[in-house]
């Protein structure tokens, strides 16, 4: 069974239809890169997956279980939406770290808040928090920032902040980790360290959806590539299929523009 299935997803803002019938599937352990020109709806798609936007219609299935179904008109409670969200993690273009917390606390905060709902929290508090801290330190080690665990975000470079944000997004062990142009806000010399971390996650079979303008990176890291244009999935396939043998003119034009830049 596919880990993620998106069917007939549509989303409008007012009169502008931003997503027009989006369909794709993703297998566990695969990396999907989403490419496309500005305004084509890539961010909106990620935001729909993470329940930051509500699609107008369509279906989102995770491991065959519908998390969003426009046919199902029963209103979802806040708690249900929060539970659905747990399947996804999101790394933002602008990091969005919590400035008043250290790198480690940024990573552990959500886990700590969730632990409070455990029935055994009061009795095992010390061990639970100890576990959470260890997990946070493990994740910071994984992104190469263990020695920066006590730094506040403003004491970190952009690349380091984004790596903390990745560790934070991993802290609740999401099934699918989403990235929205994770390196676009970074100085060129800092993109490498972030891409390397993402590459490392791919090597460990983390299921990921990555919106990116880094074509070379997308080609290296992806199992599937999806080209979006004005709200449609125009091209979907392996990196070889999409980059080397694009079937559609719009894809060819887009890639030509990008290879010109590189």
Partner 1 sequence: MFETVLLSLSEGFVKSLEVFFLTLIGAIPLGLLISFGSMSKFKPLSFLVKVIVWIVRGSPLMLQLLIIYFGPGLIFGNNWWGSGSEGRFIAAMVAFIFNYACYFSEIFRGGIEGIPQGQYEAGEVLGMTKSQIFFKVILMQVVKRIVPPMGNEVITLIKDTSLVRVISVYELMWNGQSFIKSSGLIWPLFFTGVFYLAFNGIVTLLLGYAEKKLDYFKV
Ligand X SMILES: Nc1ncnc2c1ncn2[C@@H]1O[C@H](COP(=O)(O)OP(=O)(O)OP(=O)(O)O)[C@@H](O)[C@H]1O
Q: Can you give the binding site for ligand X, defined by CB under 6 A?
A: 13, 16, 18, 36, 38-44
Which SS3 state, helix, strand or coil, does residue 4 take?
strand
Which stretch, 86-94, 202-210, 231-239, 254-262, contacts partner 1 (CB under 8 A)?
A: 86-94
In whole angstroms, how far apart are CA 198 and each of 22, 181, 192?
25, 12, 10
Residue 43 or 50 having the CB closest to Mg ion: 43
Residue 41 or 55 having the CB closest to ligand X: 41
DSSP, residue by residue, 59-124: EEEETTEEEEETT--SPPPHHHHHHHHTTEEEE-TT----TTS-HHHHHHHHHHHHHTTSTTHHHH
Query: Residue 211 interacts with partner 1 (CB under 8 A)?
Result: no
Which stretch, 8-16, 22-30, 50-58, 187-195, contacts partner 1 (CB under 8 A)?
A: 50-58
Which SS3 state, helix, strand or coil, does residue 174 take?
coil
Which stretch, 17-25, 33-41, 89-97, 184-192, contacts partner 1 (CB under 8 A)?
A: 89-97
Binding positions for partner 1, 171-210, rule CB under 8 A:
171-172
Q: How far apart are CA 256 and CA 260, in angstroms?
A: 6
Query: Residue 132 interacts with partner 1 (CB under 8 A)?
Result: no
Q: How far is the CB of 210 from ligand X (least distance, A)?
A: 13
Q: How far is the CB of 117 from partner 1 (least distance, A)?
A: 10
Tell me, by CB under 8 A, how many residues bind partner 1.
30
Contact between residue 6 and residue 32 where contact means Cβ atoms under 8 Å apart: no
- Name which position in 4, 9, 40, 43 contacts Mg ion (CB under 5 A): 43
Other beta carbons within 10 Å of 10: 17
């Amino acid at each position: 069974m596919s880990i993620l299935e998106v069917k007939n997803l549509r989303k409008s803002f007012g009169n502008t239809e931003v997503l027009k019938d989006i369909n794709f599937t993703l297998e566990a352990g695969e990396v999907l890169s989403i490419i496309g020109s500005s305004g084509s709806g890539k961010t909106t798609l990620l935001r729909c997956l993470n329940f930051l936007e509500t699609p107008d219609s369509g279906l989102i299935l995770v491991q065959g279980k519908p998390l969003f179904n426009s046919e199902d008109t029963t209103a979802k409670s806040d708690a249900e939406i929060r539970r659905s969200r747990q399947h996804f993690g999101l790394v933002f273009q602008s990091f969005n770290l919590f400035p008043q917390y250290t790198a480690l606390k940024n990573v552990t905060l959500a886990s700590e808040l969730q632990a409070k709902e455990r029935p055994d929290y009061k009795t095992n508090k010390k061990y639970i928090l100890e576990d959470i801290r260890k997990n946070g330190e493990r994740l910071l080690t994984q992104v190469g920032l263990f020695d920066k665990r006590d730094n506040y975000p403003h004491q970190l470079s952009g690349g380091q902040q984004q790596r903390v944000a990745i560790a934070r997004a991993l802290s609740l062990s999401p099934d699918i980790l989403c990235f929205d142009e994770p390196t676009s806000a970074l100085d060129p010399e800092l993109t490498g360290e972030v891409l390397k971390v993402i590459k490392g996650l791919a090597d460990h079979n983390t299921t990921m959806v990555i919106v990116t303008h880094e074509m070379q990176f997308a080609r290296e890291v992806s199992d599937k590539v999806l080209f979006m244009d004005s709200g449609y999935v125009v091209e979907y396939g392996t990196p070889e299929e999409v980059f080397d043998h694009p079937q559609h003119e719009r894809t060819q034009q887009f890639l030509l523009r990008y290879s010109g830049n590189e």
